[in-house]
Amino acid sequence: MSYKGIIFDLDGVICFTDQYHYQAWKKMADAIGVYFDEKINNRLRGVSRMASLDIILERSGKNYSRTEKEALAAQKNEIYKALLHQMTPQDLSAEVKNTMDELKRRGYRLAIGSSSKNTKLILERLGLADYFDAVSDGTNITHSKPDPEVFLRAAEYLGLDPADCLVVEDARAGIDAAVAGGFHGAGLGEAAEHEKVTYALKSFADLLYVAKR
């Protein structure tokens, strides 16, 4: 299959900020006396901020209002953003950067499709602020994965049809979103085991064999 564009999820694909998310949610949960551990944290992968908060609050005996939930989510995000400032270009692996450089050299248009509202901050910290041809993130969508909106926006920004784009994901919800939007999906980690994934990748560099030119 010949593609014109490749759309990457950010966290878990380009970089790894799971530990920062965990630390931020843990600090917020501890502050309100709600139990939270890494097993619960695994349920939050690929899930929006507010949906993640709802999962955490399942163990709370209190019913929180929408306003209270928004305040808690904002509190978590401020902790998370402070942690993100620890990131540097050294957190971008040579494998990822070299693979993307080669894909660019082959003429592919590259985009980010991430539900995170902190996408641009993360890209800046990694030294990738102006690297991608398009960025679709949590600031320009109303529905999180498994809704395909973030990928459809990315394809639109690239000026390409979904059928001409390959989505690279590490979360099952991301593959669901890709399929729902009419994209082919390349999966890393748990996404590689999804029954609807087009390509199961063992490493990021495997993209060079999938996207041949």
Which residue numbers are catalytic? 9, 11
Determine which helix (DSSP H) or strand (DSSP E) holds 81, and give its type and residue range.
Answer: helix 66-84
Q: Taking Cα atoms as reference points, which of 81, 146, 93 lies closest to residue 115?
A: 146
SS3 (DSSP) at 76: helix
Q: Taking Cα atoms as reference points, which of 112, 92, 103, 118 lies closest to residue 211?
A: 103
- Radius of gyration of the chain from Cα atoms? 17
Determine which helix (DSSP H) or strand (DSSP E) holds 210, and give its type and residue range.
Answer: helix 207-210
Neighbours of 34 (CB within 10 A): 18
Q: Taking Cα atoms as reference points, which of 12, 7, 9 lies closest to residue 22?
A: 12
Q: Taking Cα atoms as reference points, which of 213, 185, 195 lies closest to residue 6?
A: 185
Question: At CA 124, angle to CA 123 and CA 130, rounded to 5?
Answer: 80
Backbone angles phi, psi at 187, to 5 degrees: -110, 140
Q: Taking Cα atoms as reference points, which of 48, 10, 18 lies closest to residue 131?
A: 10
